[in-house]
Amino acid sequence: MPRHIDHLVICVRDLAQAALSLRTLGFALTPTGIHPFGTSNRLAMFGNNFLELLAITDAAAIPAAAPGRFSFAAHQQNFLAAAEGMSMLAWHGTDAHADAARFAANGIGAYAPFDFGRNAVLPGGGTARVEFSLAFATHPAMPGIAFFTCQQRHPPELFWKPDYQHHPNGAMRVVEVVMSAPEPWENRDFLERMTESTAELSPGRLTVGAKGDRISVLSPLEITRRLPGFAADGPPRFCAARLAVADLNATKRELQRNGIGFQVSDGVLLTPPAASHGLALEFVEQGTI
C-alpha cells in the first residue's frame, strides 16, 4: 500500500527563533515537546500530517549511533553541522517493528525499531503521555538525510488537537516534498522500495507516491526552474514542501500583513527558504492539487 506523509522534520539551531519565523509565516504551533534523547520540538499540525521544528536542546543526552541502531538525535546534530533545513521525511506507520523488518529485507534500512515516549501539553495546560515507534530507512547516496515511518501508540485524540490545527495562513496539509538530486533516476529503486509505489520518470524529474502524498526529485536545472534562486548542488537533499490551503488570496493577505516576501506563478505561492530556516514553502489551493 502506498505510504502517506506523516511529517517533515525541519532541523534548526534555535527553536524559539524558528518558532517565531513559522508564526510570522502564518502557522500556529503546539507548545514545546521535550524528547528523552536531547531534542525538543514544536509542531505546525494539520488535519493528518504536520511540520516539526526540531532543535538540539541537551547535547549530553544524545545517544551515539551504534551498529544496527539509528540515532535520531545524532542525525540531527550531524545535519546541523552543515546547515539548517529539512533533515528527515516521516511516513505514517501502523507497525514500525514490521516496517523495520521490511526495510531490512529490502536492503534499505538494517536498523532496529526505536520506541520512545514524551509528554504532550494539552490545549488546557495539562499533559498527556504520547508514545511512538520509528523505523528508519537510509541510502548511501543520500548521506545527509533520512526517512522513517512513525507509528503513534496512543489514542489519536491525545495528539491530534483541533485547537492546534487552525492556521492564519489557511494551511491544511503537506501534499508534496521536493528534493534535488544530480541524477534523479538514480534514486528510483530506493524510493520505490521505501514508498511501496511505482515512480514516474521524465527528463530531469522522478515522481513517486500517490497524489497528495508525493515526492518529486528534480535535477539542478529543474530545481532552478521551480524554485528560482535556490542552489541545488551536492548530493540529494530536501528543498521544498508544498502545502494545500483553503484560499490562496487569504494566504497572500496573511503573508503581506506579516511582511513576508513571496512570488506567485501559475497558482503557486512560493516563500524563500530563508523564511523557514532552509526549506522553501509552496502554497496552493486545495482544489488545484
DSSP string, 40-66: EEEEEE-SS-EEEEEEES-GGGPPPPB
Separation between Cα atoms, residue 94 and residue 230, nearest integer Å: 36
Whether residue 63 contacts residue 77, with contact meaning beta carbons closer than 8 Å, is answered with no
β-strand pairing of 237-245 with 280-285: parallel
3-state secondary structure of 135: strand
Strand partners, 241: 177, 281
Whether residue 170 contacts residue 251, with contact meaning beta carbons closer than 8 Å, is answered with yes
Separation between Cα atoms, residue 163 and residue 180, nearest integer Å: 35
- What are the chain's domains? 5-164 (3.10.180.10), 171-288 (3.10.180.10)
b/e string for 63-82 if b means 16 or more Cβ within 10 A?
Answer: eeeeeeebbbbbbbeebbee
pTM of the model: 0.97
- What nine digits make up the cell of 91? 511516513
Closest of 97, 106, 115 to residue 190, by C-alpha: 106
The tens-digit pLDDT sequence of the chain (289 residues) is 679 999 999 999 999 999 999 999 999 999 999 999 999 999 999 999 999 999 999 999 999 878 899 999 999 999 999 999 999 999 999 999 999 999 999 999 999 999 999 999 999 999 999 999 999 999 999 999 999 999 999 999 999 999 999 999 999 999 999 999 999 999 999 999 999 999 999 999 999 998 899 999 999 999 999 999 888 888 999 999 999 999 999 999 999 999 999 999 999 999 999 999 999 999 999 977 7
3-state secondary structure of 121: strand
Element (H, E) at 16: helix 15-24
- What nine digits make up the cell of 72? 535520531
